[in-house]
Structure 1
């Protein structure tokens, strides 16, 4: 049984609702997984219906992604690497969910790595199409009126290659999970990114060309 609180409060094992972002933890010593109700729903389960294990996680991976996933688990157990990945999940109804998993290392009081935790981001097109229907007025007002939020969204879109809706899902998830206002979170991300991320000269030159040569958006 996981000890995560549900981040949406909904009971939707099909993954068709608001289950786009969910938490997980993995403990190295016991090879123990924990997942939130949202991640359970992404796999097709109701809260508490199953206990996640490595074998279950492998079973739900797309056949073409299983070898790579097994290698990532081995890397976590051997080198205590965080579990960050892009792969596909096959839920209990046989539907494929492309996901991005973003995580960092959990350390004990002595600084030793003991696990990894983070979140799943569901990239399924059908979910993306229903985002606007489910976002409430407060969320929409944040998106349209806060310049810092838009800038932070742009960073997430560029770094992780996700849509604007998905980027805001991540900001909102962090906001709810850590009880911090979305605007304050976005400003912290912008501050830390400016302080710690460096753009290489090569990347800057490539962007110079894009900036100077761009004329109109490509036609689809």
Structure 2
């Protein structure tokens, strides 16, 4: 098995052909000090209008899955923390197994594994926020379409201490979209709505904050719209207003977007 040591270059492969998924210590070996141009952010301190208006961890009725499964990786110890939704997303029961890097990677779709490893290596090297779409294979061999959003959190010395974020399950949304597309393909041009400039602005804000594609930005806005039962244009207008408003805090664009989308309170467990 190929592993990465602290002296290994960041671009060294995390695994070799036919090897097991990258172990936790291999990820930890890629950590570098993050270039900090502002005071290091503290975990769980995201604030904003969206955070006060809607808490995704309590908004759903009892017995339903979390709208966003949460995770946190401790760089120094190599330990992972998963919310109940993360276990459920992988077809597991909370406490059934200890979450590890090996477990996380073993459930990646083979076609998405390399890109996922590169995303992890990048955030451990640069500390920059990330947003990527990939597929998860649960214990029942069901494919889950997932959008992962996260960022690194630095200590007082500017070194990356934790990586934390969310997995948003888009499987149902994808299934609905696919079935609708089959029925509407012949009249799509006639029914195509005019492009809403506010939605385009909101997509642009998410693209800038997380460096994701236009399609992924629209999916994230649509997810928020469906979870809150709010019209997509209203969600987009609120996000644009949040970025145009004057704030007394020093939140990054990524944290402000997460706060508005309800992706908050990572460290309140």
Q: Same fold (TM over 0.5)?
A: yes
Contact 1:40 1:47 in 2 (8 A): yes
1:112 to partner: Cα distance: 3.4
Q: Which residue of 2 aligns with 1:28?
A: 75
Instruction: State the aligned residue count.
Output: 157
1:54 to partner: Cα distance: 1.0
Q: Structure 1 residues 107 and 77 mapped into 2: Cα distance closer, same or farther (>3 Å)?
A: closer
C-alpha RMSD of matched pairs (Å) = 3.9
Q: Which residue of 2 aligns with 1:215?
A: none
Q: Which has the higher contact order (CA 8 A, sep 6+)?
A: 2
Q: Which has the higher helix share?
A: 1
Question: Are 2:161 and 1:161 aligned?
Answer: no
Contact 1:24 1:33 in 2 (8 A): yes
Aligned pairs (5 A) from 1:61-140: 61-125=108-172
**TM-score scaled by structure 1?**
0.55
Distance in 2 between the 1:163 and 1:70 partners? 22
Contact 2:76 2:161 in 1 (8 A): yes
Contact 1:128 1:165 in 2 (8 A): no
DSSP 3-state at the match of 1:64: coil
Distance in 2 between the 1:106 and 1:62 partners? 27
Question: Are 2:244 and 1:194 aligned?
Answer: yes
Gaps of 5+ in 1: 1-5, 12-16, 130-149, 173-182, 198-220
1:74 to partner: Cα distance: 2.3
Q: Structure 1 residues 47 and 10 mapped into 2: Cα distance closer, same or farther (>3 Å)?
A: farther
Gaps of 5+ in 2: 1-56, 177-197, 207-213, 229-233, 246-251, 254-269
